[in-house]
Amino acid sequence: MENRIPMLGERFPGMKVVTTHGVLELPKAYEGKWFVLFSHPADFTPVCTTEFIGFQVRYKKFRDLNCELIGLSIDQVFSHIKWVEWIEENIKVDGKPVKIEFPIIADDTGRVSSQLGLIHEAKGTNTVRAVFIVDPKGDIRAILYYPQELGRNVDEILRMVKGLQVSEENGVAIPHNWPNNELVKENVIIPPAMSENEAKNRMEADKKGEIKCFDWWFCYKAVK
């Protein structure tokens, strides 16, 4: 089996994984759903703990987007279970204990991490903070890699899932910092015209107020 970093647009590699919720077969276990697989360097570490709490606090928002979460590190399943117990017993957010509800892959052999390119030798032998966003067909739509010393922005990952869904459903592109873009606000970008006639029609549509354009190649519109 070739061990390399998967590419955008490729199918997520098929694999059976041991998790805190039992053995799962990926990507089959999430067929028909989006899922975010994220790796962390180690259990019982401060930054990783803050990340898991961040993911759990936003778990309902991910599920509202038909998106599941699954964590991963090279720790054993026993370590994952104990760490999850520790978080629930010792951490509260808004006065409520934090119970991690999503599964965590126990990759103590390093097999999964090697297959996904999660161990970067220059950063040590633990997994880096990687994120894979996978669509309902099992195709990889986005990949993020963070160094061990930098915690992730979970809100950005949530925004990415929503943005990818809006893009796919409407055939549009998503601007910088959407939905809080300085130029187009919560609107989305219409792909550039591919012919002279289409460019002319874009400007006519702008005059009619059907869409808005800075020029024929830079048009945008609202989506529901």
Residues 197 and 141 in one domain: no
Predicted local distance difference test score (pLDDT) of residue 148: 83
Q: What is the pTM of this model?
A: 0.92
pLDDT of residue 110: 84
Do 98 and 30 share a structural domain?
A: yes
One domain for residues 140 and 181: no
3-state secondary structure the chain: CCCCCCCCCCECCCEEEEEECEEEEECHHHCCCEEEEEECCCCCCHHHHHHHHHHHHCHHHHHHCCEEEEEEECCCHHHHHHHHHHHHHHCEECCEECCCCCCEEECCCCHHHHHHCCCCHHHCCCCCEEEEEECCCCEEEEEEEECCCCCCCHHHHHHHHHHHHHHHHHCCECCCCCCCECCCECCEEECCCCCHHHHHHHHHHHHCCCCEEEECCEEEECCC
Q: Is residue 163 part of a domain?
A: no
* Whether 144 and 185 share a structural domain: no
CATH of the domain at 54: 3.40.30.10
Q: What is the pLDDT of residue 127?
A: 78
> Residue 56's pLDDT is what?
97
* Residue 8 counted as domain residue: no
Residues 107 and 36 in one domain: yes
Active-site residue 219, yes or no? no
Whether 71 is covered by a domain: the verdict is yes
Q: Are residues 40 and 140 in the same domain?
A: yes
28 and 77 share a domain? yes
Q: Is residue 91 part of a domain?
A: yes
- Same domain? 137 vs 217: no
Q: Is residue 212 part of a domain?
A: yes
Q: Which residue range(s) make up the domain with 206?
A: 171-224
| Co-location of 130 and 175 in the same domain | no
Name the domain count of the chain. Answer: 2
- pLDDT tens digits in sequence order for the chain, 224 residues long: 455 688 999 999 999 999 999 999 999 999 999 999 999 989 999 999 999 999 999 999 999 999 999 999 988 999 999 999 999 999 999 999 999 999 999 998 888 888 888 877 666 667 778 999 999 999 999 999 988 889 999 999 999 999 999 999 999 999 999 999 999 999 999 998 999 999 999 999 999 999 999 999 999 999 97
Q: Give pLDDT, residue 1.
A: 45
* Claim to verify: residue 123 and residue 213 sit in the same structural domain: no
Catalytic residue among 48, 67, 213, 219: 48
The answer to the question of residue 69 being in a domain is: yes
Confirm whether 9 is domain-assigned: no
